[in-house]
Amino acid sequence: MSQSRRQFVRSASGLTLAAAAASAAPLGDIPKRKLGKTGVDVTMIGLGGARVGNMTDENEAIRVIRHAREIGIRYFDNAAAGAYGVGQRRYGTAFGKDNKDLFYTTKTRNRSYTQSELDLTQSLAHYQRDYIDLYQVHNVINQEDIDFAFGPHGVMEMIEKAKKAGKVRFVGFTGHTNPHVLRKMMEMYDWDTILMPLSVTDGARKDFSFERMTLPAAVERNLGIQAMKTTGVGAIEGEGVSSIQEALRYVWSLPISTAILGCTSIEQLETDVKIAIASEKNKMTQSEREKVQAKWANADFAKLEPWKVDNSPQSLASTPRYLGA
């Protein structure tokens, strides 16, 4: 947790929702929501794997991971590559084979059968499991990505084989660059879940918003909806417009199953869980969301959401051009 976030949580202005959470329920009494048509109940907060994978102190990272389970988190998100790959290994170190109560997810950025199969094999080994609860095609960015994934010897061919073999329970996809691309990907397969950016800034951005352009279709298909980048990778707090409490409460008031949060300390974990509990007991109304959106109407979206792609028609079939780059 950043120093500013620690100070904010402890400040008088930040105590309202956190204090309400502490009195509303014991720490760890995390509400659950249905993961769409899977019918599985999942905790409304999930632990993200990249942050714990990036921690330099392995022992402290494992302590954070174990504490997440101790306080009630059962949804553990990760992926095969980079810091995520380290995070996966640390999950396995933290829990070993004592993991049947956990909902383990992973992702592959590879689009070919062979490379994605290697990713799946690695994930199974790291998790010390013979199956993954949710396997996801990660970071879909354009039409070329979609064509490759569904083409001959593509990742979807591997996933279908893995499902039949019992190595994968549910199948989803993720993306954070272009709402149009996710809408198109949604139509390609009978998906179980979707993971996308949802936040106060995304909701305020009328011209290029996952909340406005992708979320309704996901709800209509009864997908399990996972939210990411809920705090703008920390940038939202720094703008001084919405508190962490307000930003998270906003996202949890949307029709999502869970929000994936990256945590690197015990304090941050416990604070986020308290906010989750309070947010479920006092959900933000549509009117309240609109007031929050209005506060962000003139935000520098290119700076705050640099992962998004220009919404020109060409972006559906070409290499993405990042806003603000």
CA gap 17, 213 in Å, rounded? 30
* pLDDT for residue 9 is more than 90: no
Separation between Cα atoms, residue 325 and residue 284, nearest integer Å: 34
Question: pLDDT band at residue 187, thresholds of 50, 70 and 90?
Answer: very high
Q: What is the mean pLDDT of the chain?
A: 89
Q: What is the CATH number of the domain that holds 270?
A: 3.20.20.100
| Residue 270, in any domain of the structure | yes
31 in any annotated domain: yes
Task: Indicate whether 321 belongs to any domain.
Answer: no
What pLDDT was estimated at residue 82?
86
Tell whether 324 is covered by a domain.
no
> Mean pLDDT lowest for which of 1-15, 28-42, 295-309?
1-15
Q: What are phi and psi of 160, to 5 degrees?
A: -60, -40
| pLDDT of 227 higher than 60 | yes
DSSP for 50-94, written as a single string: HHHHH-S-HHHHHHHHHHHHHTT--EE---SSHHHHHHHHHHHHH
Q: Is the pLDDT of residue 15 over 80?
A: no
Strands 41-43 and 32-34: antiparallel
Pair type for strands 224-228 and 258-261:
parallel
pLDDT (0 to 100) of residue 94: 98
* 65 confidence band (pLDDT: 50, 70, 90): very high
Which pLDDT belongs to residue 233? 87
Which of 9-23, 68-82, 162-176 shows the lowest mean pLDDT across its residues? 9-23
Question: 92-95: which pairs have CB atoms within 8 A and are 24 or more residues apart?
Answer: 92/125, 92/126, 92/127, 92/128, 93/62, 94/62, 94/65, 94/66, 94/69, 95/65, 95/66, 95/69, 95/128
CA separation for the pair 75, 44 (Å, rounded): 8
Percent of the chain with pLDDT over 90: 83
Instruction: Please tell me the total count of domains within the chain.
Output: 1
Report yes or no on 322 lying in a domain: no
pLDDT of residue 27: 61
Tell me, yes or no, whether 174 lies in a domain. yes
Which residue did the predictor score with more confidence, 71 or 3?
Answer: 71
101, burial (CB in 10 Å: exposed 0-12, middle 13-18, buried 19+): exposed
Task: List strand residue ranges (DSSP E) for 175-325, in order.
Answer: 193-197, 224-228, 258-261
φ, ψ for residue 171 (rounded to 5)? -130, 135
Quick check: is 323 in a domain?
no
pLDDT value at 23 more than 60: no
pLDDT tens digits for range 260-299: 999 999 999 999 999 999 999 999 999 999 999 999 999 9
Predicted model pTM: 0.88
Alpha-carbon distances, residue 49 vs 54, 55, 90, 115, 276 (angstroms): 9, 10, 9, 21, 19
- pLDDT score of 175: 97
Residue at 227 is within a domain: yes
Tell me the C-alpha distance between 244 and 238, whole Å.
10
Q: Which residues pair with 45 in a beta bridge?
A: 259
Name the residue range of residue 289's domain. Answer: 3-316
Higher local confidence (pLDDT), 238 or 38: 38
pLDDT score recorded for residue 322: 29
Residue 318 has pLDDT above 50, yes or no: no
On the question of pLDDT at 325 being above 90, the answer is no
No. of H helices and E strands in the chain? Answer: 17, 10
CA distances from 140 to 21, 108, 237 (A): 36, 10, 28
Average of pLDDT values for 167-175?
Answer: 98
Question: What gap in Å lies between CA 154 and CA 146, rounded to an integer?
Answer: 10
